[in-house]
Structure 1
Amino acid sequence: MTVWDRPDPPARPAPLDRERIVAAAVELADEGGLPAVSLRKVAARLDAGPMRLYGYIATKEELFDLMVDAVHAEILPERSPGDWREALRGRAHRTRQATLRHEWLADLLGGRPALGPNALAVGESTLAAFDGLADIGTVQRAVETVSAYVTGAIRREIANLRAERATGLSTSDWQRASGPHLTRMLATGRYPALARLVHEGTEVDAEATFTTGLEWVLDAVAAKLAPPA
Structure 2
Amino acid sequence: MAEQLDTPRRAPLSREKVLQAAVVLADRAGLEALSMRKLAQDLGVVPMALYKHVAHKEELLDGMVDVVVGEIDPPAGGTDWQSAVRQRILSARRALLRHPWAAQVIESRAAPTPAVLAYLDSTIGMFRRGGFSIDLTHHVMHAMGSRILGFSQELFADPPPTDPAVQAAMARELAGRFPYVAELAVAAAHVEDSVVGSGCDDQFEFEFALDLLLDGIAALHRQGWSSTPGG
TM-score class, shorter-chain normalisation, is: 0.7 to 0.9
Separation in 2, partners of 1:98, 1:152: 8
Q: Which residue of 2 aligns with 1:208?
A: 204
Bigger Rg, which one: 2
Q: Which residue of 2 aligns with 1:105?
A: 102
Secondary structure, counterpart of 1:184 in structure 2: helix
Separation in 2, partners of 1:147, 1:59: 29
In 2 relative to 1, CA 81–193 (structure 1 residues): closer, same or farther, beyond 3 Å? farther
Secondary structure, counterpart of 1:16 in structure 2: coil
Separation in 1, partners of 2:28, 2:119: 26
Secondary structure, counterpart of 2:79 in structure 1: coil
Q: What TM-score, normalized by structure 1, do the two folds share?
A: 0.74
- 2:132 and 2:221 in contact (8 A); partners too: yes
In 2 relative to 1, CA 177–63 (structure 1 residues): closer, same or farther, beyond 3 Å? farther
In structure 1, what residue type is equivalent to 2:207?
T
In structure 2, what residue type is equivalent to 1:144?
H
- 1:87 and 1:125 in contact (8 A); partners too: no
Identify the match of residue 193 of structure 1 among 180, 183, 187. Answer: 180
Gaps of 5+ in 1: 1-12, 164-170
Identify the match of residue 137 of structure 2 among 118, 132, 139. Answer: 139
Identify the match of residue 53 of structure 2 among 49, 52, 56. Answer: 56
In structure 2, what residue type is equivalent to 1:142?
V
In 2 relative to 1, CA 94–177 (structure 1 residues): closer, same or farther, beyond 3 Å? farther
Q: What TM-score, normalized by structure 2, do the two folds share?
A: 0.73
Percent identity of paired positions between Structure 1 and Structure 2: 36
Q: Which residue of 2 aligns with 1:115?
A: 114
1:201, CA displacement in angstroms? 4.8
Identify the match of residue 36 of structure 1 among 30, 33, 38. Answer: 33
Q: Which residue of 2 aligns with 1:225?
A: 221
Gaps of 5+ in 2: 1-9, 191-199, 226-231
In 2 relative to 1, CA 81–40 (structure 1 residues): closer, same or farther, beyond 3 Å? farther
In structure 2, what residue type is equivalent to 1:58?
A
Q: Which has the higher contact order (CA 8 A, sep 6+)?
A: 1
| 2:63 is the alignment partner of 1:66 | yes
1:121, CA displacement in angstroms? 4.2
Q: Which residue of 2 aligns with 1:181?
A: 169
In 2 relative to 1, CA 108–178 (structure 1 residues): closer, same or farther, beyond 3 Å? same
Secondary structure, counterpart of 2:206 in structure 1: helix
- 1:24 and 1:46 in contact (8 A); partners too: yes
1:175, CA displacement in angstroms? 8.2
- 2:19 and 2:60 in contact (8 A); partners too: yes
- CA RMSD in angstroms comes to 3.1
In structure 1, what residue type is equivalent to 2:22?
A
Superposed CA deviations along residues 167-198 of structure 1, whole A, max 9, x for unmatched, are: xxxx7x8384543113422553x333234324
Separation in 2, partners of 1:94, 1:20: 24
Higher helix fraction (1 or 2):
1
In 2 relative to 1, CA 195–38 (structure 1 residues): closer, same or farther, beyond 3 Å? closer
In structure 2, what residue type is equivalent to 1:196?
E
Separation in 2, partners of 1:186, 1:54: 53
1:63, CA displacement in angstroms? 0.7
Moved over 6 A (4+): none
Q: Which residue of 2 aligns with 1:6?
A: none
